[in-house]
Amino acid sequence: MTTNAAAQPARNTQPTGYRDRFPRELGGPLQRRTLIVLSTATILGGLGFGASASVGALLLAEVSGNDAISGLAAAMSNAGAAAAGIPLARIAARKGRRTAVVLGSSIAMVGALFAISGAALALWWVLALGIGILGVASAVQLLSRFAATDLALPKNRARDLSLVVWSITVGAVIGPNLMGPGAVVGEAIGVPSLAGVFVFTFFAQLAAVCVNFFGLRPDPLLTAREIQAAAVAARPADAPETTAEVFASRRAKVLAIVIIGTAQAIMVGLMAMTPLHLKHHGGSDALVGITLSLHIAGMYALSPVFGILAGKIGRLPVIVGGWVILLVAIYFAYLSGENSLWVQIAMTLVGVGWSAVTVAGAALLTDLTALGERPKWQGRADTFMSASGAAAGVLAGIVFAVSDFSILALVALAVLALGAIASMYPKLRVARQH
């Protein structure tokens, strides 16, 4: 690899061209193939996980007979993802992304079996445990989006990451509408009708395992390390540090993680109680399915748009735009009451705002972290993100049980303020230079 960096002033850390700094392997055919494999596996994983997420709260309320426990579905799912975030990141750091995602999806299959068994035996705690184990599938999706950046050019990181996030749309939107077919399967195998959805989840995760196991070769992270080692060996001794090396402060990375986790807490807190809110006001299963589909479509369908914008105008402007969208969503949620249309508008906007913040936030964290440390910090981000969702799910269940959806919206507004404050840290603006 050749570079003209030595001929430039030392204060100028902006490259004249990406191909001056990065070899052909980055952003090339291998990266495109990696994106196809990750996206395909994510579609399959999203199909199963989206289906189970749509019925988790309703099934827990049915099996336990307690609406307050229904919030445990989102909490357990996010807790499972949080518990898996750092271990999967460590496995990825040692063995590569392929090993980590295959193991994670395999564990999620076990969770689906636990969920079916808990529903069949009318043991709500076994069902909740299964939902928690199944939450590892969410950790796999989070890990996959970061895997999409391993071989990406810096200018394309947000875009490539967002393409994998977008691929969740296909399965996740279809998933909530599988309650009808799931009921048929559930009756056929002698379990509660809602539990039949978890059968789809099991086979979808199995398919994701096969796609990643056979398709994710060579491993993107291990390959990126080989490329970096070769680039470092070829770089002149007097070449300046890269922008990421100069600005990757610990505080900036922590705040980037806080931003991501805040958006997750808002999204999970409102989404977890939406099915019950609609049911309490006479909503049908079909209405719940459509509402969740709109919400999930909002979460993923526009992610490539936010990825492209984050690459063109910078990570922070997209994050700030996400906060604004979430603010509007909270306003509609607060005023929704019995108006199911306003609930649908609110939940769709919650998904859109979440997408803007998390896509740009994940790209921001990657920008601020050197390759050797990325699995560690990405694992921390995934763990904090999922833990924030778990805490929000528990809190939402309690708040909803003692008050109503409008009060829950006010709590979400207070959480949003935290994320907005974190976004004001000046050194986060350096991501624009990548």
Q: What pLDDT, in 10s, does the model give residues 175-218?
A: 667 777 878 888 888 888 888 888 888 999 999 999 999 999 99
Mean of pLDDT values over 354-365: 94
- Altogether, the residues listed in the chain come to a count of 434
pLDDT (0 to 100) of residue 365: 92
**Residue 254: what are its φ and ψ, rounded to 5°?**
-60, -45
What class does CATH assign to 27-227?
Answer: mainly alpha
Q: Are 118 and 125 in contact (CB under 8 A)?
A: yes
pLDDT (0 to 100) of residue 17: 43
pLDDT (0 to 100) of residue 243: 44
Whole-angstrom Cα distance, residue 361 to residue 8? 31
Residues with Cβ within 8 Å of residue 381, at least 6 apart in sequence: 85, 256, 257, 260, 261, 362, 365
Q: What pLDDT, in 10s, does the model give residues 283-299?
A: 677 778 788 878 888 88
Residue the block writes with tokens 């939402």:
396
Q: What pLDDT, in 10s, does the model give residues 389-427?
A: 888 888 888 888 888 888 888 999 999 999 999 898 866
Fold match flag (27-227 vs 246-433): yes
The answer to whether the Cα torsion of 311, 256, 101, 189 is positive or negative is negative
Helix (H) or strand (E) holding 339: none
Domains in the chain: boundaries: 27-227, 246-433
Mean pLDDT (the chain) is 83
DSSP 185-220: HHHHHTS-GGGGHHHHHHHHHHHHHHHHHHH--S-H
Q: Are 182 and 85 in contact (CB under 8 A)?
A: no
Mean of pLDDT values over 108-134: 91
**CATH architecture of the domain with residue range 246-433:** Up-down Bundle (1.20)
Whole-angstrom Cα distance, residue 147 to residue 212? 12
Q: What pLDDT, in 10s, does the model give residues 1-22?
A: 444 444 433 333 333 344 445 5
244 or 186: which leads in pLDDT: 186
Mean of pLDDT values over 34-58: 81
